[in-house]
Amino acid sequence: MNKKGGLGRGLSSLLEEKVEIGSGRVHEISVIDIEPNPDQPRKDFSEEGLQALADSIAEVGVLSPILVRKKENGLYEIIAGERRWRASKLAGKKKIPAIVKDYETREVMEIALIENLQREDLNPLEEAMGYQTLKEQFGLTQEEIAKKVSKSRSTVANILRILNLPDFVLKEIKAGKVSLGHAKALSSLESDEGKKLLLYEIVKNEISVRDAEELAKKLSEKKRTNLIKKTLKKDPNLIEVETQLTQKFGTKVQIKSGKIKSKIEIEYYTQDDLKRIIDLF
């Protein structure tokens, strides 16, 4: 069998590749006889989302069967549909509809990865790491990845560029504070100083993607020696400290430097808010 034959096509095409006459029927399998894939790319499952799905399954059942393969120990390993399986257990279901197919380990990993990349709640960093895995482990080109996830090659290329950003930016992307559009604007800047300044505006002042692009353009056009003075007139190191303090206290924090004395301002809006901040000290 040519293992590369299925590469470069969409998930549905890859799944259909293994269907033979008489196979692909839906079976009711005991949930305790099913195991998750240990190499499943998705590690975190929202408790709130699982509970909502469990409530739906309790009401109307599992509408789409999961995909599994049979292991040598007699149990079944999930290829696609771990979230449905987890929610079914949460709903108290004893069995779950499943399609049993014979896949090799390489194909299982690829299908699991592509299924996760087609989720709507991925943050840009998770998506970029998924594309990188397809590129490195499966030898796919950007064009082949784009076909599999139904996106343009340029979109895939832009998302992969995120991985070149410094750790202090990746941290904010992972936290959900920087969107893909913002990340693209940050990627257009060469220096870490410029990225810190733009990140400050994105995270602290919540500027739009369009404003971020405009600011990135201005920062790129200026000499780096004038960047701090003419854009925000603040030391990037102080900006980073402000950002950390703002995250810690959950409210706006400003560090104001003076020639003789300096001060730190922490905003609060209610007495309860003040008490919460004091408790953090």
Amino acid, single-letter form, for residue 185: A
Look up 214 and say whether it is catalytic: no
Class of residue 33 by CB neighbours under 10 A (exposed 0-12, middle 13-18, buried 19+): middle
Of 82, 115, 126, 172, catalytic: 82
Query: And the tokens for 71?
Result: 């292991």
CA distance 7 to 148: 8
Nearest to 196 by CA among 267, 204, 125: 204
CA distance 96 to 70: 15
Contacts of 19 (CB under 8 A, 6+ apart): 101
Active-site residues, by number, are 82
